[in-house]
Amino acid sequence: MVRAVVMAFAVVSIVVQSLFLGAVGWAVTNPRAVTDAVTVSQFDPTPAIAGYASRAGMSERGRFLFYASTPQIVEGDAFDALCSRDEPDIGVLGCYTLADGRIYLYEITNLDLQAFEVVVAAHEMLHAAWDRLSADDQAALVAPLEEAFASIDPDDELVERIAAYEDFDPTSRIPELYAILGTELADLPDELEEHYAEYFDDRAAVVALWQEVKAIFVELEAELNRLNTELERLSLEIEAEQAAANAAAAVLEADITAFNNRASRPGGYSSQSAFERDRQALLARQDALTASIDATNAKITTYNTLVEEFTALNEEAAALDKDLNIERQPLEPTE
C-alpha cells in the first residue's frame, strides 16, 4: 500500500514534470505569446484606454493584444516625436511601433471628434494582431483584402489614403488595408469577417464610430465645395455683367453727348415731340443700365457674404484638422 502510494506520487511527479517540460517547450517556440501574457498581467489600463477597447467592440483576444501593446495616450509634440511624419494634409493619430510593439495614440481634445480615438485604437490593435500572424497567415489574407479594396469606389478618399501610405512606405499597403478595412468597412467578404471576429465581438460598433466621424468631414467638405462652386459662378456672372455694363455705359455716354450736341444746335430738332422722344429713350436706357448695375451690386453683396461663410467654414475645417494633427493647406475661394 505504501508502495502504491509512492508509485502514485511517482506517476504524478512524472506527469507534472511532463507538463512542465511541455510548457517550457511551448514557451521556447512561442516567446512572443509569453511576453504578451506577462505584459498584459502587469498592465493597468487607464479608464480611457479600457473605454476605447469597450467602445470599439473588441473581443477578449482583441483587448489582450491591445493591452499587450501597452497603449499610451500622448499629447501634441511628444506624440509627434514618437509617431508623426512631416507632410501637409497628412494627420497621424496613432502608431504601432514594430521595434518594441507599443501603441501610441494622439490625444484628441475636440469632443466632437473623440470617437475617432476609439477607431484609431482599434486600427492600431489590428496592427498588433497582424504583427503576430505567421507569414503564411498574412499571405492568405492578401487576396481577400485586395478583393474588398477593389469593391471600393475609385473616388473614395480611402483610395487616396492608401496611395499616401504607399508613397511613404511601399511595404505598408497590405498591413494598412488589414487595419483600415477591419475598422472602417461595414461589408466584407465572409473570410475576412470570420477572421476579424477573433478580435471583435461587435465590429459594427467601431465601423459606426468611423462613419460618425467621417460624416463630419464629408458634410464640411461638401459645403465648402458647394460654396466654392457658387462663388465661381457668381464671379463669372459679375465679371460678365460688369463688362457689359461698362460697354453699355460707354455707348450711352456717347449717345447722350450726341443728343446734347444735336439739341444745342439751332434747328437740331424740328419738333419738341422728336426731342422728347429721343430724350425719353435715353432716360429709359439710363434707368435700365442703373437697374442692371444695381442687380450686379446685389450679386457682389451676395458674393461677399458667401466669401465670409466660406472663410468661416475653411477656418472651422482648419481647426478640425489641427485637432487631428493635420498640417492643412486651406482651399482658397475663387477670386
Nearest one of 300, 285, 299 to 255, comparing CA atoms: 285
Q: Are 194 and 173 in contact (CB under 8 A)?
A: no
Report the SS3 class of residue 58: strand
For the residues 102-111, what does the mean pLDDT come to? 92
DSSP 206-265: HHHHHHHHHHHHHHHHHHHHHHHHHHHHHHHHHHHHHHHHHHHHHHHHHHHHHHHHHHHS
Task: State residue 168's pLDDT score.
Answer: 81
- Mean pLDDT rounded to a whole number for the chain: 86
Nearest-5° angle of CA 148, CA 108, CA 208?
35
Beta bridge partners of 94: 105
Cα distance between residue 212 and residue 9, in whole Å: 63
Q: Which stretch of DSSP H or E encloses residue 73?
A: strand 72-74
Would you say the C-alpha torsion 319, 322, 324, 327 has a positive or negative sign?
Answer: positive
Mean pLDDT, residues 94-118: 91
Asked if residue 65 lies in contact with residue 125, where contact means CB atoms within 8 angstroms, the answer is yes
pLDDT band at 64 (very low <50, low <70, confident <90, very high): very high
34-44 pLDDT, tens per residue?
899 999 999 99
DSSP string, 83-129: T----TT-B--EEEETTTTEEEEE----GGGTHHHHHHHHHHHHHHH
Q: Is the dihedral of CA 40, 44, 46, 47 positive or negative?
A: positive
Contacts of 28 (CB under 8 A, 6+ apart): none
Label the pairing between strands 102-106 and 72-74.
Answer: parallel
> What band does 323 get if pLDDT is binned at 50, 70 and 90?
confident
% of residues, the chain, pLDDT over 70: 86
Domain boundaries, the chain: 35-201, 215-323
* CA–CA dist 131, 221 (Å, integer): 35
Using the predicted structure, report yes or no on whether residue 89 has a pLDDT greater than 70: no
The candidate with the shortest Cα–Cα distance to 207, out of 228, 180, 175, is 180
Edge-to-edge, what's the strand order for the sheet holding 102-106?
72-74, 102-106, 94-97
pLDDT of residue 318: 86
Residue 95 has pLDDT above 60, yes or no: yes
286-308 confidence digits (pLDDT tens): 999 999 999 999 999 999 999 99
Q: Can you tell me which residue has the cell 467621417?
A: 214
What tens digit of pLDDT does each residue of 119-133 get?
Answer: 999 999 999 999 999
8-state DSSP, 332: P
How far apart are alpha carbons 241 and 234 in whole angstroms? 10
Weakest mean pLDDT among 134-148, 210-224, 312-326: 312-326
pLDDT value of residue 246: 95
pLDDT at site 29: 54
Helix, strand, coil percentages for the chain (3-state, nearest 5): 75, 5, 20
For residue 207, give the nearest of 180, 187, 190, 184 by alpha carbon.
Answer: 184
Give residue-wise pLDDT tens across range 154-186: 998 899 888 888 888 888 899 999 999 999 999
pTM > 0.75: yes
With b for 16 or more beta-carbon neighbours within 10 A and e for fewer, the 37-52 pattern comes to eeebeeeebeeebeeb
What are the residues facing 74 on neighbouring strands?
106
**Burial environment of residue 177 by CB neighbours within 10 A (0 to 12, 13 to 18, 19 or more):** buried
Percent of the chain with pLDDT over 90: 65
- Determine if residue 326 is left, alpha or beta; phi over 0 gives left, psi from -120 to 50 gives alpha, anything else beta: beta
Tens digits of per-residue pLDDT, 192-244? 999 999 999 999 999 999 999 999 989 999 999 999 999 999 999 999 999 99
**Helix (H, G, I), strand (E, B), or coil: what is residue 326?**
strand
* Residue 135 pLDDT level (bands cut at 50, 70, 90): very high
Q: Is 74 helix (H, G, I), strand (E, B) or coil?
A: strand
